[in-house]
Structure 1
């Protein structure tokens, strides 16, 4: 018997393929926008300038200061530049930091957004915005921040560096893992989660130790899997894993994707006893009897960080992180208790492989 559930689809237009960056101009026109401001990180500012040249008069300028965890002071500078430029909308070209900045601007002025993801982070498919101020990261959920159009271009991911490929891929996988047992779990998201996790794990494995851009089919499958995982995050919900990552990122300024990579195996191991049905789905998706260990091994085999210590978190910050995480109650299938949570973070700090 299928249990009762509620399913709400988020309204967004998705264009997926290779060479689809060329369609950004027609999508801007479709949205009825005369001029748009392009957002990037400093690292991708040159790509933003090339897109501006492609758009011609439709480009109102490039703001290249997007930063991890969406600092409020950066958003305020971007908002001032948006108003000065006379832009009517936003094109966010980049990963989670850039798309997060676009969402933070839209939260304040309702500007239409077109997102062009270049990693597997998934922020483009969610009505969730996170912001950091005074070393605290807060999130809110509102349809105001959901991009109207998302253009996935596989070509933009062909040369994504190995560490970013693996860590942003595992970051995406984490969205689907929690959607399976989050408060808003339902059969539709369960199917998407299994498919997305399986596609990403297979693609990352096929990309192998060398030639990360040499397999366009694997890159296409990875981006497809990331899209499905992002839909899971946008339409489902989150639990302990995402809460801890927000606390660690906002408090200790840890890199976003790498933090998700480290925490996922341990958060899943914490919740596993409380979600037997979800674990069966994850066993099918990963092809492993121990999904938590499979996620750890995926990172370890790729040579990316598997411990909070490697990311620069001080060991004496563990108790502080637990305290902050417990300040505001939130849904999790297993009760949140200080000592088990401290054990979870201690294992993640040391980089221990879950049993």
Structure 2
């Protein structure tokens, strides 16, 4: 018998290639906003200018930093207050959306998110802030954007390598959702469809970087992944990546893309229903085979060492992580097997072989 509790977050989604500026103007009017604060990193300035060409802007704010350091958030909050902003419009990736969320968390200002990557943060009520090399995350409905405007044209400037890493970040939302603390049949179904869409869209982007069909599929999949993740909650994979990002300042998307196969290999045998669902979404014999075949086609990130992580950080990472892993994780996490997982991800070892070695060690 099915017994579960599911919460669906209230949010307007406007999806249309080439329609971002028109959709944004309509939403600003609908919300009766008069003092719009636009948040976009300097390298996204031209895209933001195009998106906002039909609205009046009270303030352009461009101090966007990965992992949202608290001091950066405080300056943005002060700017919003000084300019009496009544609406936040963020144009960019996860860091940009994260900064808008940091402002909304203390001010209650509504957010319209216009994503230019496949991060998925725009569809969750999850926030993240970094202080003293520690990244804290939480859930607060005030940070959920009231509207998300998706436009595949805005992702055309995203290089293929970054598109792959960002899309695999979305894939991680899907897979982690299948054993998250609040997993249920609804978010499992959303996650499976998200896997299918991302697995179709990302290779199309690699094959034809300026094609829109693949980027539309990737955006669609990223949205589904985020909705599933917001419902299911943060699982083992995201705890690992948030600690690696906040403590060691590793790049967000590449870290997710690198760590994902190791967590999947670690958990798959202990979560047979999730494993079967993931495999089916990939159209593969096993979940790990499907993910690895996709990663091979995409030339995905392979080793944390490529992004600045070193063996010297493993002990600290494991110590910080261990109390954060949800008790509901399908497989028991210990200091020993967590350390081995991090070692394998550091070196880019074969995830299947690394997982088998851990299992053999635990059976002795």
* TM-score (normalised: structure 1): 0.95
Partner of 1:48: 48
Residue 114 of structure 2 is aligned to residue 106 of structure 1: no
What SS does the corresponding residue of 1:90 show, helix, strand or coil? strand
Distance 1:280 1:49 in 2: 45
Distance 1:17 1:32 in 2: 22
Aligned residues of 2:279 and 2:290 also touching (Cα < 8 A): no
Partner of 1:351: 348
Partner of 2:193: 195
Paired residue for 2:67, among 66, 69, 73? 69
What SS does the corresponding residue of 2:65 show, helix, strand or coil? coil
What SS does the corresponding residue of 1:54 show, helix, strand or coil? coil
RMSD: 1.5
Give, in angstroms, the shift of residue 74 of structure 1: 0.9
Give, in angstroms, the shift of residue 293 of structure 1: 4.2
What SS does the corresponding residue of 1:221 show, helix, strand or coil? helix
Aligned residues of 2:265 and 2:351 also touching (Cα < 8 A): yes
Deviates more, 1:277-286 or 1:297-306: 297-306
Partner of 1:12: 11
Residue 220 of structure 2 is aligned to residue 224 of structure 1: yes
Partner of 2:25: 25
Point out where structure 2 has 5 or more consecutive residues left out of the alignment.
353-364
Deviates more, 1:43-52 or 1:252-261: 43-52
Paired residue for 1:341, among 338, 342, 352? 338
Distance 1:75 1:299 in 2: 35
Aligned residues of 2:276 and 2:287 also touching (Cα < 8 A): no
Question: How is 1:1-355 mapped onto 2 (pairs within 5 angstroms)?
Answer: 1=1, 3-21=2-20, 22-55=22-55, 58-209=56-207, 211-214=208-211, 216-328=212-324, 330-331=326-327, 332-355=329-352
Cα displacement string for residues 16-63 of structure 1 (whole angstroms, at most 9, x for unaligned residues): 1112212101101111211210001222123233444431xx311211
* Cα pair distance change 1:284/1:329, threshold 3 Å: closer
Aligned residues of 1:114 and 1:149 also touching (Cα < 8 A): yes
Cα displacement string for residues 159-207 of structure 1 (whole angstroms, at most 9, x for unaligned residues): 3210111111110011111111212111111111111101111111223
Deviates more, 1:58-67 or 1:241-250: 58-67
Distance 1:238 1:46 in 2: 34
What SS does the corresponding residue of 2:178 show, helix, strand or coil? helix
Point out where structure 1 has 5 or more consecutive residues left out of the alignment.
none
Distance 1:155 1:310 in 2: 30
Give, in angstroms, the shift of residue 329 of structure 1: 5.5
What SS does the corresponding residue of 1:15 show, helix, strand or coil? strand
Distance 1:328 1:230 in 2: 21
